[in-house]
């Protein structure tokens, strides 16, 4: 049986074909390009780091293929507000909202609701394989897209990046091994995510970030992704010089996600 990443990508291609029948590419592109204002995703991360704080991309995720339902009481607008508020002093820099329905129980509506309820820049967390999805991301209000190197070739990555940047969106490119890292470094975007979770096996180890750290040039902003659960994880990363984090589960399991964020990054 093929692995989960391949399965997800196969479903994406079907979803895109169906979506294009409802709204053709040109119409989606028009909607995307009619939205002029993006929130500065990269700037929000840099501002936190410049202030000596961790830059946290706080995720809104109901479920995942590896964990099933993570949070029952799931109201994206409330969660977004909680993240934006933190404990007053420590709060999120940006949001990440899962929009994949089939595997993560996400939706475009969740992204819209989350973004409308606060002023944080928002990443559309999905599996991008086609320009259509980049226009769709902007049309739904996203300020940043994720490109997963593991499901894209070099030409696709460059193409999707160019479309996003053409609409003033930020691009977070995600890698899991050295080969992907070196491919990702050919892109223009400074935002480089190292996913500690292997999307094919679901194994998680923070060692993934630590092992590749020395190969990330200074002009990139490294974001460590997944598996950050405790304060010792944060400390390990910050001591290693990693100051940007993408965290989901640890917050989603807490009654008040923004307070959990403030505690984890206090």
Ligand X SMILES: O=P(O)(O)OC[C@@H](O)[C@@H](O)c1c[nH]c2ccccc12
Q: Could you confirm whether 239 is annotated as catalytic?
A: no
Judge whether 195 counts as a catalytic residue.
yes
Asked if residue 68 lies in contact with residue 80, where contact means CB atoms within 8 angstroms, the answer is no
Nearer to ligand X, 9 or 25 (CB): 9
Residue whose pair of structure tokens reads 């984890």 in the numeric block: 264
CB 59 within 8 A of CB 252: yes
Catalytic, 22? Answer: no
CB count within 10 Å of CB 108 equals: 18
Give dist(CA 96, CA 123) in Å, integer.
5
Closest CB to ligand X among 64 and 117?
A: 64
Among 115, 122, 226, 257, binds ligand X (CB under 6 A): 226
Query: In terms of CB distance, is 15 or 225 closer to ligand X?
Result: 225
CB of 226 to ligand X, least distance (A): 4
Residue 249 found at the interface with ligand X (CB under 6 A): yes
In the complex with ligand X, the residue whose CB is nearer, 29 or 105, is: 105
Closest approach of ligand X to the CB of residue 75, in Å: 18
Q: What is the DSSP string of 218-261?
A: TTSEEEEES---SHHHHHHHHHTT--EEEE-HHHHTSSSHHHHH
Does position 105 interact with ligand X (CB under 6 A)? The reply is no
Q: Which helix (H) or strand (E) holds 74?
A: none
Minimum CB distance to ligand X smaller for 227 or for 258: 227
- Determine the straight-line distance between the first and last CA of the chain, rounded to whole angstroms: 44
Footprint on residues 64-103 left by ligand X (CB under 6 A): none
Q: CA-CA distance, 98 to 105, in Å (whole number)?
A: 8
- DSSP assigned state of 57: E
238-242: long-range contacts, CB 8 A cutoff, minimum separation 24: 238/54, 240/209, 240/210, 240/213, 241/213, 242/209, 242/213
Q: Does 125 bind ligand X (CB under 6 A)?
A: yes
Q: How many residues bind ligand X (CB under 6 A)?
A: 15
CB of 76 to ligand X, least distance (A): 15
Judged by CB under 6 A, the residue of 106, 248, 257, 258 near ligand X is 248
Question: Any contact of residue 141 with ligand X (CB under 6 A)?
Answer: no
Which residues of this chain interact with ligand X, rule CB under 6 A? Answer: 59, 61, 125, 148, 174, 195, 225-228, 246-250
Residues belonging to the active site: 59, 61, 125, 174, 195, 225-226
């Amino acid at each position: 049986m093929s692995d989960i990443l391949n399965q997800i990508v196969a479903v994406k291609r079907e979803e895109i074909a169906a979506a294009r029948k409802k709204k053709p590419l040109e119409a989606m592109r028009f909607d995307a390009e009619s939205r002029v204002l993006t929130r500065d995703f990269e700037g929000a991360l840099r501002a936190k780091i410049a202030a000596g704080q961790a830059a946290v991309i706080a995720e809104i995720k109901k479920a995942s293929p590896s964990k099933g339902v993570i949070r029952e009481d799931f109201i994206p607008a409330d969660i977004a507000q909680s993240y934006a508020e933190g404990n007053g002093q420590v709060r999120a820099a940006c949001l990440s909202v899962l929009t994949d329905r089939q595997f993560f129980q996400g939706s475009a509506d969740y992204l819209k609701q989350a973004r409308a309820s606060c002023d944080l820049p928002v990443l559309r967390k999905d599996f991008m394989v086609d320009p259509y999805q980049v226009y769709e991301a902007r049309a739904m209000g996203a300020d940043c897209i994720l490109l997963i190197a593991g499901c894209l070739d070099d030409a696709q990555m460059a193409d999707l990046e160019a479309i996003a940047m053409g609409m003033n969106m930020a691009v977070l490119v995600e890698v899991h091994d050295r080969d992907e890292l070196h491919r990702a470094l050919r892109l223009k975007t400074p935002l480089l995510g190292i996913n500690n979770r292997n999307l094919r096996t679901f194994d998680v180890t923070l060692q993934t970030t630590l092992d590749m750290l020395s190969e990330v040039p200074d002009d990139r902003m490294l974001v460590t992704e997944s598996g950050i659960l405790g304060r010792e994880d944060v400390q390990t990363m910050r001591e290693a010089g990693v100051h940007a984090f993408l965290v989901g589960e640890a917050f989603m399991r807490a009654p008040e996600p923004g307070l959990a964020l403030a505690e984890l990054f206090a």
